Copies of this chain bind each other. A is one copy, B any other.
Amino acid sequence: MEPLSMEPLSPDMFHPACPSGAMPIRIGDKWAAMVIVCLEQGPRRFSELRVPMHVATPKVLTQTLRALERDGMITRTIHAEVPPRVEYELTSLGRSLLDLIAAGRRWADEHLPSLLAARNSYAERTGVVGGGGSVSTGP
């Protein structure tokens, strides 16, 4: 099912402003969607995931992984070796979210500029820079 060779994850796979508290669409908690996307091509190790998600601390990454595991989205496999190796992999339930994530990305590509324009316009009318409400700028 996977490509012949699995590419390493790029450090700049995600835009620095992703997630920026911006996108009106959220899958799971703040980092869950990014993890799911990272696992799309096949199983990954903790340290592999840290590369594209270097803006998240290990604690936060662990929390995200545990929540996803608890909800049946990913599996966690410990290989009893030295050095220790742990692999995370999407379940079919986890894969079922990929379509939704793709739909969210498509919405953002198409409509996020309109949203940002509305926000700027509103800020001018009210003179307020406005905190983060429900949506904002995305990658």
Contact = CB atoms under 8 A, between A and B. Distances in A.
A57 interface: no
A19 to B, nearest CB: 12
A135 interface: yes
- Taken together, the copies of this chain in the complex come to 2
B114 A68 contact: no
A106 to B, nearest CB: 9
Interface of A: 24-29, 32, 63-64, 66-73, 93, 96-97, 99-100, 103-104, 107, 110-111, 114-115, 117-119, 121-122, 130, 133-135
A115 to B, nearest CB: 5
Contact of A72 (B28, B29, B118): B118
Nearest to A128: B70
